[in-house]
């Protein structure tokens, strides 16, 4: 076989193992019986070893190296794919094998240690493990640095290729200057909410009924996906023909399942609308965390929390919850789902203040990797930044620095993509609105037109176009955070009756 045939054959095997392990992972998150967990773990160990052997086979590595240097006869898509896998391979080869293994062992323990520390509000118990994780990440940065990508940029690039500290600084400085003062002002406005919504009981069965209705509204393709229940909502997929979502039901909060389901559909519709021919390549799936989050936030917030959406669908919600929402007006419901409330917890934050929570984490990560902050001082700096950006002072580390599991998993550089995705969604909305009257489209229950626009401009390309280039192609300009700030100010000044 020639080099291309060797690569394509290895790719076919790799994708098959990936699919098998993904199915096992999906199953354990949704319905694997507890008694089967040990048996399942043993099968995953075997499959992981076989997959590793395929990925690190010498003939595959030689084929990738050769094709990367001799790509003139490859298709454009294959050139992009080989460039991507070569980058991943080069990174893997730079990390000493034993150090990589030791780190995986550390991570397997770190999540449990973090969980107990959070439960017991005991940062000191978590600190030694966190210091080891951070030390490894610093060594990883040194291994992976190139002439053009150095320091914290190495970690940022893992989750959002091409994004740097310079890019994120510009973004977050815009939020500090233009959004923080408005958010603090907005959060002080008295907001009287319906007691029926705050104190109500909303049965799981009725929530499932309304969620099933939402699947059709958003045209989530049930021939290529399913909706299940899990402790924490997530999207999981390996191909356009198999992308699945879950949600969680809380009977004291009618908002939770509605918006987590719409959020996950945003991720899933993206994956379902990637070119089907990419399913058998390394170009399948979303291109980055930020672009992915822009899709989920677009559907959840810009469509799902809009007045136009509920002009059409509030009547259905009232029909499903006839007793619970009797005499609750649509205007009251809109205030409820768009409530502004400064909160200590990121995952419970409203749309206006969410990115400010992310900004705290970005500032901390940047200081950790430029040598200006030691892990032991994290609680003190965390609390100072929460006072500065959200006007809050966490009373405990459990509601402060211990609230996220990400750092226990070594996911430094991940957090900024959450805020980036929200901002990109506003820029996409602005551009789309030039082709579609989005409010009328949503009010007319024609969300398939929005899906099609996103497919044509973003989704179909999968990983074949880098994130920055994709934003430029889709919106006809580079990333511009001002659309996000303007969107939030316009929305919440109208909702709360205050000056922007």
* Confidence bin at 347 (pLDDT 50/70/90): confident
Q: Nearest-CA neighbor of 427 among 474, 358, 466, 464? A: 474
**245 pLDDT above the threshold of 80:** yes
Could you give the CA distance from residue 207 to residue 250 in angstroms, rounded to a whole number? 9
Over residues 20-24, the mean pLDDT reads 91
Write the pLDDT tens digit of every residue in 357-388. Answer: 999 999 999 999 999 999 999 999 999 999 99
Could you give the CA distance from residue 114 to residue 121 in angstroms, rounded to a whole number? 10
Over residues 431-455, the mean pLDDT reads 98
User: How many of the other CB atoms lie within 10 Å of CB of 37?
Assistant: 10
In the prediction, which pLDDT does 231 show?
A: 83
In the prediction, which pLDDT does 396 show?
A: 97
**Predicted model pTM:** 0.94
**312 pLDDT above the threshold of 90:** yes
The structure tokens listed for 121 are: 């509000």
Over residues 327-347, the mean pLDDT reads 95
Q: Nearest-CA neighbor of 301 among 194, 418, 476? A: 418
* Confidence bin at 39 (pLDDT 50/70/90): confident
Could you give the CA distance from residue 388 to residue 18 in angstroms, rounded to a whole number? 44
* Confidence bin at 334 (pLDDT 50/70/90): very high
In the prediction, which pLDDT does 23 show?
A: 92
What one-character DSSP code corresponds to residue 459?
G
pLDDT mean across residues, the chain = 95
Could you give the CA distance from residue 497 to residue 500 in angstroms, rounded to a whole number? 9
Could you give the CA distance from residue 115 to residue 120 in angstroms, rounded to a whole number? 9
Over residues 385-410, the mean pLDDT reads 95
Alpha-carbon dihedral sign for residues 26, 27, 28, 29: positive
In order, the DSSP letters of 75-117 are -HHHHHHHHHHHHHHHHHHHS-HHHHHHHHHHHHHHHHHHHHH
Most confident of the following: 24-33, 344-353, 376-385: 376-385
Q: Is 264 one of the annotated active-site residues of the chain?
A: yes
- Catalytic residue among 81, 264, 293, 363, which? 264
CB 77 within 8 A of CB 464: yes
Angle at 60 between CA 54 and CA 65, to 5 degrees: 145
Alpha helices in 152-253 (DSSP H): 152-159, 165-178, 180-186, 195-199, 204-217
In the prediction, which pLDDT does 150 show?
A: 96
Question: Which three-class secondary structure state does DSSP give residue 328?
Answer: coil
| Radius of gyration in angstroms for the set of CA atoms belonging to the chain, rounded to a whole number | 23
Write the pLDDT tens digit of every residue in 272-311. Answer: 999 999 999 999 999 999 999 999 999 999 999 999 999 9
User: How many of the other CB atoms lie within 10 Å of CB of 167?
Assistant: 19
* Confidence bin at 97 (pLDDT 50/70/90): confident
């Amino acid at each position: 076989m020639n080099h291309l045939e060797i690569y394509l054959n290895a790719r076919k095997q790799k994708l098959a193992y990936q699919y098998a392990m993904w199915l096992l992972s999906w199953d354990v998150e949704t319905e694997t019986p507890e008694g089967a967990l040990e048996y399942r773990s043993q099968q995953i160990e075997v499959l992981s070893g076989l997959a590793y052997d395929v990925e690190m086979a010498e003939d595959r590595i030689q084929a990738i190296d050769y094709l990367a240097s001799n790509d003139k006869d490859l298709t454009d898509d294959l050139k992009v794919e080989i460039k991507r896998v070569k980058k991943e391979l080069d990174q893997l080869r730079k990390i000493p094998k034993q150090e990589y293994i030791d780190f995986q062992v550390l991570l397997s323990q770190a999540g449990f240690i973090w969980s107990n520390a959070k439960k017991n509000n005991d940062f000191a118990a978590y600190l030694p493990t966190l210091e080891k994780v951070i030390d490894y990440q610093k060594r990883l940065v040194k291994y992976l640095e190139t002439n053009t990508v150095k320091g914290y940029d190495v970690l940022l690039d893992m989750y959002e290729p091409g994004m740097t500290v310079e890019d994120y600084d510009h973004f977050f400085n815009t939020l500090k200057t233009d959004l923080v003062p408005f958010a603090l002002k907005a959060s002080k406005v008295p907001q009287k909410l319906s007691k029926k919504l705050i104190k109500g009981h909303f049965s799981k069965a009725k929530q499932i009924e309304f969620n099933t209705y939402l699947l059709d509204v958003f045209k989530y393709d049930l021939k290529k996906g399913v909706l299940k229940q899990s402790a924490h909502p997530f999207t999981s997929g390996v191909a356009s023909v198999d992308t699945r979502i879950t949600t969680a039901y809380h009977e004291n909060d009618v908002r939770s399942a509605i918006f987590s389901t719409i959020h996950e559909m945003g991720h899933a519709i993206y994956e379902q609308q990637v070119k089907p021919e990419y399913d058998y390549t390394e170009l399948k799936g979303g291109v980055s965390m930020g672009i992915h989050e822009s899709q989920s936030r677009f559907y959840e917030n810009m469509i799902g929390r809009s007045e136009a959406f509920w002009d059409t669908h509030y009547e259905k919600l009232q029909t499903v919850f006839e007793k619970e929402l009797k005499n609750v007006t649509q205007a009251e419901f809109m205030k409820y789902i768009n409530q502004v409330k400064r909160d200590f917890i990121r995952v419970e934050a409203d749309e206006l203040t969410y990115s400010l929570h992310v900004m705290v984490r970005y500032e901390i990560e940047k200081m950790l990797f430029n040598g200006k902050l030691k892990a032991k001082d994290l609680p003190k700096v965390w609390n100072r930044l929460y006072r500065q950006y959200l006007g809050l002072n966490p009373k405990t580390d459990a509601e402060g620095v211990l609230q996220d599991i990400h750092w226990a998993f070594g996911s430094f550089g991940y957090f900024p993509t959450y805020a980036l995705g929200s901002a990109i969604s506003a820029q996409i909305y602005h551009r789309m609105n030039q082709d579609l009257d989005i409010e009328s489209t949503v009010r007319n229950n024609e969300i398939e037109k929005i899906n099609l626009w996103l497919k044509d401009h973003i989704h179909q390309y999968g990983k074949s176009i880098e994130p920055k280039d994709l934003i430029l192609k889709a919106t006809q300009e580079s990333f511009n955070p001002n659309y996000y700030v303007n969107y939030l100010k316009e929305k919440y000044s109208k909702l709360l009756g205050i000056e922007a």
